[in-house]
Structure 1
Amino acid sequence: METKQKRWSIMFVVATIFVLNSSYYKVQGKPQVPCYFIFGDSLVDNGNNNGFASLARADYLPYGIDFPRSSTGRFSNGKTVVDTIAEHLGFDDYIQSYANASNRDILRGVNYASAAAGIRDETGQQLGARTSFGGQVNNYVSTVSQVVRILGNVNLAAHHLKQCIFSVGIGSNDYLNNYFLPDYYQTSRRFTPNQYANALIKQYSKQIRILYNYGARKLVLNGIGPIGCSPNALAQHSRDGSTCVAKINSANQMFNRRLVTLVDYFNKTLPDAKFIYINNYGIFQDLIDHPKKFDFSVTKSGCCGVGRNNGQITCLPFQTPCQHRDKYIFWDAFHPTEAANIVVGTRAYRAQSASDAYPYDIRRLAKL
């Protein structure tokens, strides 16, 4: 009898641990929308580059050191912005990468993001293989064919997709790994910053129209953050290693202003479309300007792989990162920590300031 009781006690402990781990791995709540499709770059890539011959990969420690599944390919110590938003939307797990999604998994959405990707096809080519925004859109078109096959007909697929949220966060690399890399690219000699922003928006809008033509109706267009304040920009271009680089941030804001105009244009011209803009620039600038308000203490350097005279831009494999990672805004030379991503994702979902989202936030978009 005693042996039997011990056996049941052991089984109960094991089951309890399993449940606790499952709740840690899974996000709780009923989804507010049936699916969430994600397009972007390394800020939201969750493993699509893992099999690529590329320097833009994060499938090794210390990346993912604080994520339940360890180094999945996320360029952070833990969750990304879209992981946070998925939690707020009530999904029971994070959205799978295009590289891993299959069968009925795609009905709850797919993450197509690829590190080093840009709006322009050549962007990031010096880093190796990646899937440009155009390539990601093509992958989505392929997914739609699968959705039609699973649900049985085009009408059912269209009804399903129009309820989903589509998040697009692309353009950072068109500056970081294109325009401001004159040794590799001609764009800064061919275009003024104003002309370049126009060229990017023109190509961007073509891809957005394809998404719309293939069922997307609720679209989140994410602005570019203040790239000139990243540890890499400070190390490479700031005279004192502390002051944000104005010429980079100015160019980013030119793009963002056109993105807001694009939201207005599409809302007026595309039937049944609901576009919103997330002001990542303003939200992230708030973190940098008022770190104590968010309990951050380190704003100018990354937790790993960064130094003023260090050309290293990502964490070295198995490098020991900083201890107090929740006090850092940046994880490496470009990417935020999980703590910063949670702040940005939360404010994108539920705006804390009138300037966080336009014309409204993701929470309201989900209800429409």
Structure 2
Amino acid sequence: MESYLRKWCLISMLVLFLSLGFLVKAEPQVPCYFIFGDSLVDNGNNNGLASMARADYFPYGIDMGGPTGRFSNGKTTVDEIAELLGFDNYIPAYSAAPGQQILRGVNYASAAAGIREESGQQLGQRITFSGQVQNHKNTVSQVVQILGDENSAADYLSKCIYSISLGSNDYLNNYFMPQYYSTSRRYNPEQYAADLIRLYLDQLKVLYSYGARKFALGGIGAIGCSPNALAQGSLNGRTCVERINSANRIFNNRLKSLVQQLNNNYHDAKFTYLNAYGVFQDIITNPANYGFRVTNAACCGVGRNGGQLTCLPGQPPCLNRDEYVFWDAFHPSDAANTIIGRRSYKAESTLDVYPIDISTLAQL
């Protein structure tokens, strides 16, 4: 009887141990994830700004429990990547990041922000790329205080991933808006892209000086295929606007070349290019492969195919949201964001990233 009880106790303890083991969640693949960008990845930083570029109202966030400031019905690409990296929660907005939670990362993205200081200014307040980098400097100071010294902070930050997705507004809300901006009269597309990359590099150097060592640089998507571009510049409402996409490809090619240059020059850091344009073109060209039915219209919005304006407050969106590539006039749906995020994290094609995907970057 005593032998039986001893055996029963041992089995019970083993079962309890294994059960507790299954409840323990693994640490994320990197200690923190820092995000810089525009409305494609903003998760609430614009909520308190005097700006027309805000998404803190219904129907935005309809599939995420309510509006959060994300320009989507649900997740953004960086939300998907954060999940795949193993984080318990999405990375908090800088405007709301509490205390020691910044050690897991911060999202600095701001809708309407650009690489150039003036981009998006007709929409009101926004936090430009340089402003986001300045906010990161403040975060670094807090990390130093929490960890106790600069060396510990530098070692910690060197293991984190820095995601940057900017440039769309430098075209959408600058270069291709001649009624507000003079850039298209001062620069041809090649010159404009070169100047953007020059300014972009300046901010990368600042981030590097503050400890960043793992960079994921997102290219511009196919802006000429958005419902807004189709409503404004497509004769049949379906064919992507090539003059916009052509300019975007010039920027992307220069950004990809910059990644190669930086990898050659900074041997203690790693840079990779995320080909959002290529993945998005694949989705637009082969929608059925991904379960999409509508590629040229927004799930909610105003005007031709919902392309004139973003979703209006209280406007009921379409019911079959997973069948739409675009959520509103400019932004992909949760379903499209999920695909782009997954292929940035784990490339399905050699064209998705250069030279490595985020899952590989995390392991370095």
1:293 matched residue in structure 2: 289
1:284 matched residue in structure 2: 280
Aligned length: 340
C-alpha displacement of 1:113 = 0.1
Determine helix, strand or coil for the equivalent of 2:304.
coil
Paired with 1:100 and 1:208, the residues of 2 have a C-alpha distance of: 24
Residues 205-250 of structure 1: CA distance to partner in whole angstroms, max 9, x if unpaired?
0001100110000000000000000000000011111110000000
Q: 2:33 aligns with which of 31, 36, 44?
A: 36
Superposition RMSD in Å: 1.0
Residues 262-314 of structure 1: CA distance to partner in whole angstroms, max 9, x if unpaired?
10111111231100000000000000000000000000000000432867421
For the 8 Å contact 2:297–2:306, the answer to whether it is kept is no
Which segments of 5 or more consecutive residues in structure 1 lack a partner in the other structure?
A: 1-27
For the 8 Å contact 2:77–2:337, the answer to whether it is kept is yes
Paired with 1:191 and 1:224, the residues of 2 have a C-alpha distance of: 19
Residues 131-183 of structure 1: CA distance to partner in whole angstroms, max 9, x if unpaired?
00010001001110111011000000001000000000000000000000000
Residues 296-355 of structure 1: CA distance to partner in whole angstroms, max 9, x if unpaired?
000000000043286742100010000000000000000010000000000000000110
Pair 1:58 & 2:55 matched: yes
2:105 matched residue in structure 1: 109
Find the structure with the greater CA-based Rg. 2
Identity %: 64
Which one is further off, 281-290 or 235-244? 235-244
Q: Which amino acid aligns with 1:190?
A: R
Paired with 1:341 and 1:140, the residues of 2 have a C-alpha distance of: 25
2:89 matched residue in structure 1: 93
Pair 1:204 & 2:200 matched: yes
For the 8 Å contact 2:297–2:307, the answer to whether it is kept is no
1:334 matched residue in structure 2: 330
1:170 matched residue in structure 2: 166
2:352 matched residue in structure 1: 356
Determine helix, strand or coil for the equivalent of 2:238.
coil
Q: Which amino acid aligns with 1:44?
A: V
Determine helix, strand or coil for the equivalent of 1:99.
helix
For the 8 Å contact 2:46–2:54, the answer to whether it is kept is yes
1:225 matched residue in structure 2: 221
Paired with 2:306 and 2:99, the residues of 1 have a C-alpha distance of: 44
Paired with 1:29 and 1:296, the residues of 2 have a C-alpha distance of: 34
Pair 1:346 & 2:342 matched: yes
Paired with 2:302 and 2:328, the residues of 1 have a C-alpha distance of: 6
1:20 matched residue in structure 2: none
Task: State the TM-score, normalized to the length of structure 2.
Answer: 0.92
1:234 matched residue in structure 2: 230
